[in-house]
Each structure stands twice: as C-alpha cells, then as structure tokens.
Amino acid sequence: MIPTGGQVDEFVIWAAGFFDGEGSVNISPIICQVSISQEDQPVLALFARWEGSLSIAAKAGKKTKNGLTYKKDCWQYQFSYEGAEGFLIAILP
C-alpha cells in the first residue's frame, strides 16, 4: 500500500524501520526471498498484511553452525512473490 494524497500510513513506516533492522532480501537467478526473523512471534504476525507465511526458523536449545545455542525460539515471516513485491513497494518511500 503506497500512501496517497499526503496521508502517511504509520504502520508502513514502522514496518519499514523494523525490516531495516530485522529483515533480509536474498536474490538469486531463480528466486527473490524476502524475510524477517525475530523471537517475538506476535510482532511478526503483524506482517500478515502482506501475503506470506510465519514459521519457526530455529527452536530454543538448538545449536547453530557457529556453536551458539538459541535461548528462545526464533520465528521467520517469509513473503510470497506477490507479498514481497507489495511489501517492498510499500516501504520504498
């Protein structure tokens, strides 16, 4: 959603800042993946405004490749192709 007529959607502004700190974009020749990772599942659920899915990325107590152990579950919201496009356009301004 792009603000029109001088109206600013405060949620989109917040989402852009949150994505700046917690999100990532991975581009390869066959796919563009946009995702946000966070321990706070309810916060990520707010991104359902754009088409995507919420899933657990890592369980608490699991060791990472670099030997660290997660203290809490880590969640990830991944945008579908249409959702990624809509989200990135919305936060562009």
pLDDT tens digits for 72-93? 888 999 998 888 989 999 998 7
Average pLDDT over residues 22-34: 88
What is the C-alpha to C-alpha distance for residues 71 and 78, in angstroms, rounded to an integer?
A: 22
pLDDT in tens, 49-79: 999 999 988 787 777 767 777 778 889 999 9
How far separated are the first and last CA of the chain, in Å rounded? 11
**Position 30 confidence tier, pLDDT thresholds 50, 70, 90:** confident
**Position 7 confidence tier, pLDDT thresholds 50, 70, 90:** low
Report the percent of the chain where pLDDT is more than 70: 89
The amino acid occupying position 22 is E
